[in-house]
Amino acid sequence: KLQALIFDVDGTLAETERYGHRLAFNQAFSQAKLSWDWSESIYGELLAVAGGKERIRYYLQQYNPEFQSPSDLDQFIAQLHLSKTQYYRDLLGQGAIPLRPGVKRLIEEARSQGIIIAIATTSALPNVLALLEPTLPPHWFEVIAAGDIVAAKKPAPDIYYYVLDKLGLAAGECLVFEDSYHGLQAATKAGLKTIVTVNDYTKDQDFSEAILVLDHLGEPDLPFTIMKGIELN
């Protein structure tokens, strides 16, 4: 029986990548006097790697190998990422990024029927809270699992195992909402059924393992009654 809904954040609750994370990365680069500029199309490729720090490292390896990295590369990336997180919070504080259609309604309906809500994301916790605070009260979520809380980020299933453990629920009692192939992989490997809401960055990815693929959660795509009828086991 369905007990919990587990949501990814970036791309699923809101379109945070294009107008949030990408801009914040560029602002942090500029402040650090780096001439790097992640265009929308390059960013689309960089999304192949989840996690902001991991994405910067991947960019250096794949797109900017001539860059003279400082001797302590981990520290350099961590500082850059901290600055990016601050810019990202500033962007969200300006009310830059609304929730995707239907997200709030679904969560409110689920809660009103006693269904638990949780989050499993690759993003850093401050980023998640900055998005939730003006839109969905963080205390609505039984578990918010974010960022470096597990060593291996999506597409590894670790973050989903972590959430299941914290919830004390079996995979067959939960339904996941994701927007990307990586996220779907992570959830599927943890034995979870997943509904995918695609966005511009992910619409051509392979979602054959999803139980349902939608453009968004707004009317008339997913009335709660349909979702409740989905067989979990």
Binding site for ligand XBP (CB under 6 A): 8-11, 17, 21, 50-52, 55, 121-124, 127, 154, 180, 182-183
* Nearest-angstrom CA–CA distance, 93 and 141: 20
- Given a contact cutoff of 8 angstroms between Cβ atoms, the answer to whether 11 and 98 are in contact is no
| Closer residue to ligand XBP, CB minimum distance, 125 or 228 | 125
Binds Mg ion by CB under 5 A, chosen from 2, 4, 6, 11: 11
Q: Which one of Mg ion, ligand XBP, none is in contact with 182 (Cβ closer than 5 to 8 A by kind)? A: ligand XBP
Q: Which residues form the catalytic set?
A: 8, 10
14 bridge partner residues? 10, 99
In our burial notation (b when 16+ CB lie closer than 10 A, e otherwise), range 144-153 reads: bbbbebbeeb
Which among 151, 102, 159, 169 is positioned nearest to 128, based on CA atoms?
Answer: 159
Asked if 15 interacts with Mg ion (CB under 5 A), we say no
Q: Least Å distance between CB 101 and Mg ion?
A: 16
Q: Which one of Mg ion, ligand XBP, none is in contact with 197 (Cβ closer than 5 to 8 A by kind)? A: none
In the complex, which residue's CB is closest to Mg ion? 11
Tell me the two tokens of residue 29. 């680069």
| Closer residue to Mg ion, CB minimum distance, 65 or 118 | 118
* Nearest-angstrom CA–CA distance, 28 and 36: 10
Which amino acid is it at 115?
Answer: I
| Site of interaction with Mg ion (CB under 5 A) | 8, 10-11, 179-180, 183
